[in-house]
Each structure stands twice: as C-alpha cells, then as structure tokens.
Amino acid sequence: MSSLLAALDAADAQPVAVELRARSYELLGDFTGRTVVDAGCGSGRAVAELAERGAHAIGVDLDPEMIAVARERWPAGEFHVADACELPLETGSVSCYRAEKVLHTLADPLRAVLEARRVLVPGGRAVLLGQDWDMIAIDSDEPETTRRLVHAKADLLPSPRIARRYRNLLLDAGFTDPVVEVHTGVFTDGTALILLQRITDEGRWLAEQAERARANRILVAVPMFLVAAQKLRHQ
C-alpha cells in the first residue's frame, strides 16, 4: 500500500495533474454549498480540494485501506466504503458527480454511470476523467516490445479502453450536452519510471528506461479524457 500511495501521490503532484483536477472542478459548474460525490476517491485529495472550494464533498471508494488513508489525511471529510455501482446515497440527493481513473477498473462501467444518474438531481452534472490504457506513448529503443507490454497491461484491466467511450457512455445513460476534452500528461523525470514500473516488471526493458531516466532521455505521454455532461431536467 505504501508504494502504491507514493506512486499515486507523485502523479497527483505533477502540474498537469493539478491543472486537470482543477479543470474537472470547473466543468462541474457552480457547486458552492451543494453536495458533490467523488466516486473512486482513493486517498481523498479531490474531496478535500472540492471542500476547500465550498462544496459538501463526499468520497466513496471500494478499498477500505484507501478510505482509512483518506480519513486520516482529511479528518474533516466525509468518506464511505462502497461500490461505485451502489452508492450509499439517496436518489436525487447530489448536485454533482465526479469519477477519476475508476471506470477502467469496472467490468460494467455503464452501471456506474447509471448510478450517477440515479443520485444526481435533475440538471445535475457528471464529470468523468481517466486514461485510455491502450494509448500510452513511451519512447523506447524497442518499440515492438513496448507495444506488447502496454497492450498486455491494458488486457489485465476490466475496461482498459473505456475513456475513449466516456461521451457515448454518458449519452447511453441518458445524459445530454457532453463536453469532451483530451489533455496529455507528459512525464520526463523519475515519475515516468514509477509509472512504467506499474505497467510491467520486465527487467531488461525497465533497465533501458532507467538508463534513459539517468540520461534525461525518458518520456511517457498519457492522454487523459475529460468528459462532462448534464442529467436531463425532466428525469
């Protein structure tokens, strides 16, 4: 858990990640004094940032260890252990819904988006944020091996390509007026190596990337899909 948290914290601290979270909050609209749920909240950073911006923020995550970390880090926050497909919230009880880097872990992401529609008030907004695991770009002297490793990692995930489907997923769930943005995170320091170690443990390939890092030649680019949409007011 400690190594995973270190990797997540390092990625979350990158300027592009900070800017992307801020942009996701903008796309939620005016949530001052309103309830916002962050599904798959992890260690709770977004919940704390939303609360700082005036929301009544609720974090939900299926991992009890992550929720324990979130409660320790942000004791003023409200956190629950729960499935994104079965939120512990009343129907029509929240104004905004946010899910960051969670739908790719679900076998049926549509269930989670339908659950988002259930808990949102009519006219409420949903924002989905995440990477497409088949689209990660890595500079390497072995492009074929790199392609194989990226696809092998993607194939281990329940829904690795769901980010490219966010727009259609929201439309299928009955949302309207989707806004689609793609922001690319570019990593050229030690954080890149940490990310690659989460993709594979193949020693020879990682050794080449470690040498690239030492020589200031490492590069990993991760396209992040950010999609916002509105629940129909008559639902």
Tell me the pLDDT tens digit for each residue of 105-119.
Answer: 999 999 999 999 999
Chain mean pLDDT for the chain: 94
Q: For residue 132, is pLDDT > 70?
A: yes
Rounded Cα–Cα distance for residues 125 and 113 (Å)? 12
Q: Tell me the domain boundaries of the chain.
A: 2-131+159-185+224-231
> In which band, very low, low, confident or very high, does the pLDDT at 6 lie, cut at 50, 70 and 90?
confident
- Determine the pLDDT at residue 1: 65
* Single pTM value for the model: 0.93
pLDDT in tens, 142-198: 999 999 999 999 999 999 999 999 999 999 999 999 999 999 989 998 889 988 998
- Determine the pLDDT at residue 4: 72
> In which band, very low, low, confident or very high, does the pLDDT at 86 lie, cut at 50, 70 and 90?
very high
Tell me the longest C-alpha to C-alpha distance in the chain: 58
Q: Look at the domain 2-131+159-185+224-231 and name its fold.
A: Rossmann fold (3.40.50)
Average pLDDT of the residues in 84-93: 97
